Structure formats: structure tokens, C-alpha cells
Amino acid sequence: MQDKITQILQEIKLGNFQAIARAITMVENELAGSEALLQHLSAQKETKVVGITGPPGAGKSTLVNALLHYWMQQDKRIAVLAVDPSSPFNLGALLGDRIRMSEFYTHPNVYIRSLASRGALGGLHHQIYEITDILKHANFDYILIETVGVGQSEIDIAGMADCTVVTLVPEAGDEIQTLKSGIMEIADVFVVNKADRPLAESLLNTLKAMLHDFSKEKIEVIKTIANQMEGISNLSEVIDIVLEKTNKNQERKLALTLEKCWRIIQHNKMKSIQKNEIENALKIALQKADFNLYKFSSQF
């Protein structure tokens, strides 16, 4: 098994997409050897993680596609993790948004992986940290993570991204107040996408005014028309500036790593608890008139 893992790691480092896919499948499904593989990763520090988040319909996939076009012109190697919502009943997902990036599926410098959120409430995937570290081992220049867009609860991305880009559209002006206590706190960059639409300037000014009162640090607000590549070069420059600051911010590095460590420990502690066993016990417990969920949960 160790020889097999060593070979997979060597192939990943050489940029072998099949090896990357195989390793992600191992980790995603917690197959034999996945833990040993993770413990032998040597992540490259220069690989930066950029999170693209925001409400549904904001054009996140189109923005990712535009960034890919721009970075391909600069001969960058990019990995994209696109996390889509999944049913809480069968854990299946509709991964249709990925069709916007279909032209990059065979590109030698772009690796794209769609993941179902599998019920994760923070907008990510349960093994997103592990999968991202596999991609870091492959020496990509950027790792882009596009989240499901579930609104205010989508704060997990801030716990792992070196730069978090929050995408909005002009019509979101009335929703800004509801975002203030959630997404407003995690953004490193705001993007007003589809900026050729009415109300774009109004949203831009509203965001700048709110950020002036809300944030001690300057947070850039960028206008883009992603499907026409407008504003993308400016966005790329701002992302690089944020990434450079993050690299020098030891306090943020500690916070990000602590969040990651805490999540890994939680996951490992939960391995002995099988969901199907809980389901079987719950079927019986729910028949009792005095059923209490908290008392029931305490036995596990």
C-alpha cells in the first residue's frame, strides 16, 4: 500500500490529472490508504486558494470561467473545485453549472472537479480541506473554489481561502442589509457582476458606504461584466494584492490553520459514529411519546 501511495503522490506532483482524480476519489470516499496519503502530502506554499462565493444567480460560474480565460493567457496552471448543492435525502447533486467551463475540461493547464456539498451547511464539501491540499501538492498557481451560494450561512470559505471574492448583481441591492452580518464579514473583495445592468452604480456606492463604516481595512469593490471579460484583469490584480497581504499576515495564517485543524479533529472524532446506526435507533425512538432529540443525541 505504501508503494502505491508513494507512486500516486509522485504522479500528482508531476501534474498527472488521472492521479489527482484518483487521490481525490480516495479521500472523498475515505477509501483504504486515504489517511496515509494525506499524511504524506507536501503542500506547496506558493499555491493560493481563492474562494468565489455569493448568492445564487450572481454569475459565480461565469466569473470563474472569465478568470480561467484571463489566467490561461498568462500560462498559469489552475485547479477549480466547484461545489454544488445536493439533496439531503440521496446526496445527489445537479452539476449543470459546470457546462460554462466545458471548453477547459481538456485544457492541459486546467483541472476541474465538481463536488456535491452532501448536506454541508457552510456551502462547501465535507472533505474540501483534504481535496484542496491534494491540489496544492500538484503545484497549481491558483486553486479556485466556487461555493454553492447558500447566502448568509456560507462562511466556511473564509476558514480556508487566502482570498474570498463575494459576487453580487445590481438587483441584490435590497438584499445587502441581510448580508451584512454574514457574507459582509468574510469578503476580501466584492464584485458587482453584470455591471451593465441598471442599478449597478447604486449597488457599488451602497457597498462602498457600508464598507467604510463596517470594515477597518480597505476592501475593494470591482465592477465586472464577466461574460464579456470586462473588469477581469482589474479583479485579477486585486486578488493578487490580497494574496500578497495574506501571505505576510501571520495572524490570519494562524486563524486559517486553526480552523482547518479543528475541522479535521472533529471529522476524525466522528468516524466511529455511523449514520445508519443512528437512523436505526431513531426509527425506534421516534415511536416513543416522550422522545427528546437532545437526550437521544447525547448517547452517541
My answer on whether 123 and 230 are in the same domain is yes
- CA-to-CA distance for 238 and 218, rounded, in angstroms? 12
Query: Is 162 a residue whose pLDDT tops 60?
Result: yes
* Structural domain harbouring 61: 44-267
Residues 108, 7: one domain?
A: no
The whole-angstrom distance between residue 67's C-alpha and the CA centroid of its chain comes to 16
What's the structural domain count of the chain? 3
Confidence category of residue 22, pLDDT binned at 50, 70, 90: very high
Least confident among 75-89, 131-145, 233-247: 75-89
Specify the pLDDT at position 153. Answer: 44
29-63 pLDDT tens trace = 889 999 999 999 876 567 899 999 888 788 898 99
Better pLDDT: 173 or 11 = 11
**Rounded mean pLDDT of the chain?**
83
The residues, any chain, with a CB within 8 Å of residue 114's CB and separated by 6 or more, are 82, 83, 84, 93, 95, 98
Instruction: Please give the pLDDT value at position 246.
Output: 80
Q: Is 1 helix (H, G, I), strand (E, B) or coil?
A: coil
Indicate if the pLDDT at residue 289 is higher than 60.
Answer: yes
Q: Domain check: are 175 and 239 in the same one? A: yes
pLDDT at residue 253 above 80? no
Most confident of the following: 120-134, 170-184, 210-224? 210-224
* Section 145-154 average pLDDT: 65
Q: Are residues 281 and 240 in the same domain?
A: no
Whole-number Cα distances in Å, 158 to 1, 53, 86, 162, 163: 35, 10, 21, 8, 8
Segment 55-109, tens digit of pLDDT: 878 889 899 999 999 999 999 999 999 887 654 444 444 555 556 677 888 899 9
**CATH code at 65?**
3.40.50.300
Looking at the structure, do residues 35 and 129 belong to the same domain, yes or no? no
Whether residue 287 is found in the same domain as residue 167: no
For residues 298 and 89, the model is more confident at: 298
Do 173 and 109 reside in the same domain of the chain?
yes
Mean per-residue pLDDT, 276-300: 91
Domain identity same for 112 and 162: yes
| Neighbouring residues of 25: CB distance < 8 A, sequence distance ≥ 6 | 31
CB atoms within 10 A of CB 99: 10
| Alpha-carbon span 182 to 185, nearest angstrom | 6
* Ordered alpha helix ranges (H), the chain: 2-13, 17-28, 34-39, 60-72, 128-137, 176-179, 200-214, 232-248, 250-269, 275-285, 293-297
- Which residues lie below 8 Å from residue 153, measured CB to CB, with a gap of 6+? 121, 122, 123, 182
Is residue 26 domain-shared with residue 54, that is, in the same domain? Answer: no
Together in a domain, 176 and 293: no
pLDDT band for position 125 (50/70/90)? low
Dist CA 298 CA 175 (whole Å): 38
What is the b/e burial string over 248-266, where b = at least 16 CB atoms within 10 angstroms of the residue's CB?
eeeeeeeebeeebeebeee
Query: What's the whole-model pTM score?
Result: 0.83
Distance CA 161, CA 149 (A): 15
Contact 6, 42 (CB under 8 A): no
Amino acid letter at 166? V
Name which of 58, 41, 96, 73 is nearest 191 in CA terms.
58
Examine the domain organization and report whether 148 and 169 are in the same domain. Answer: yes
Comparing CA positions, the residue from 179, 180, 141, 142 lying closest to residue 161 is 142
pLDDT of 194 strictly over 80: yes
Domain shared by 141 and 261, yes or no: yes
At 88 the pLDDT is: 42
Listed as own residue / partner, the contacts of 294-297 with beta carbons closer than 8 Å and 24 or more positions apart are: none
What sections of 143-192 are H helices per DSSP?
Answer: 176-179
CA distance 126 to 131: 10
Angle at 160 between CA 156 and CA 164, to 5 degrees: 80
